[in-house]
Chains A and B, each alone.
Chain A
Amino acid sequence: MSPLPQTSSPLRRPARLAVNAGLVIFLALYAAIAFLQPNYLEPGLFMNFLRRAAPLVILACGQLYVILTGGFDLSMGAVATLAVLAASILINGDPETTWAVIGTLYVMGIAVGLVNGLVVAFLKVPSIIATLGAMLSVNGLALAWSGGAARGDLPDNFRNLGRLVWRGVPLVGTLPLAAVVLAGFVALAWWGLNGTVYGKRALAVGDNPRAAELAGTPVAATRILAFVVSAVSAVTAGILIGGFSGVSVNAGEGLELQAIAACVIGGAQLLGGRGSIWSAVFGALSLFALFTLLNLIGLPQALRDSIQGVILIAAVGASLWRTRRRT
Chain B
Amino acid sequence: MTTDIAKNKPAARGLPVAVLLAGLSIGFFVAVALATGEVAQLGGQGIVGLLQRMVALGLVALGQTFVILVGSIDLSVAALISAVAVLASHVMQGDPAMILPAILLCLGLCLAVGLVNGVLVAYGGINPLIATLGTGLIVQGVLAASFGALQGAVAREFQVLAYGGVLGVPYSILLLAVLSLAAAFVLDRTLFGARVYAVGGNPEGARLAGIRTERVTLSAHVVASLFAGASGLYLAARLQSGTPWIGRDGIYDLESIAVTVIGGTILAGGKGGVAGTLAGVLLFASLDAAFNMLGIDAFLKQVLRGAIVVAAVAIHAVRTKGHVA
Contact = CB atoms under 8 A, between A and B. Distances in A.
B310 A133 contact: yes
A137 B124 CA distance: 36
B7 interface: no
Interface string A56-75: 00000000000000111010
Interface string A216-247: 00010000000000000000000000000000
Contacts of B314: 119, 123-125
Contacts of B305: 136-137, 140
B297 A144 contact: yes
A180 B135 CA distance: 36
Contacts of A70: 325
B202 to A, nearest CB: 17
Contact of B324 (A74, A120, A304): A120
Interface stretch (B19-27, B58-66, B253-261): B253-261
Interface string A26-63: 00000000000000000000000000000000000000
Interface of B, helix, strand, loop or mixed by DSSP: helix
B130 interface: yes
A320 B126 contact: yes
A264 B130 contact: yes
B236 interface: no
Interface centre among A135, A304, A316 (most CB of B within 10 A): A316
Interface in B111-155: 120, 124-127, 129-131, 133-145, 147
Contacts of A302: 141, 143-145, 147
Contact of A125 (B143, B257, B317): B317
Given A125-B313, A303-B145, A140 B324 contact: no
Nearest to B305: A136
A303 B140 CA distance: 8
B320 interface: yes
A133 B309 contact: yes
Nearest to B307: A137
Give chain B's interface residue range (CB within 8 Å of chain A).
35 or more
Contacts of A72: 129
B309 A309 contact: no
A129 interface: yes
Interface string B294-325: 00011111111111111001100111101111
B252 to A, nearest CB: 13
Interface string A254-268: 000100110010000
A216 to B, nearest CB: 15
A143 interface: yes
B267 interface: yes
Interface string A122-136: 111111111011111
Nearest to A300: B145
A252 interface: no
Contacts of B257: 128-129, 132
B299 A303 contact: no
Nearest to A143: B299
Contacts of A126: 261, 267, 313, 317, 324-325
A281 interface: no
A219 B322 CA distance: 10
A209 B254 CA distance: 26
B146 to A, nearest CB: 8
B320 A141 contact: no
A307 B140 CA distance: 11
A305 B245 CA distance: 13
B137 A123 contact: no
19 contacts: A123-B314, A124-B320, A126-B267, A133-B308, A133-B309, A135-B306, A144-B300, A144-B303, A219-B323, A261-B130, A271-B127, A300-B145, A302-B144, A305-B141, A306-B141, A306-B142, A309-B141, A317-B126, A320-B125
Interface of A: 70-72, 74, 119-120, 122-130, 132-141, 143-144, 148, 209-210, 213, 219, 257, 260-261, 264, 270-272, 300-310, 312-313, 316-317, 320
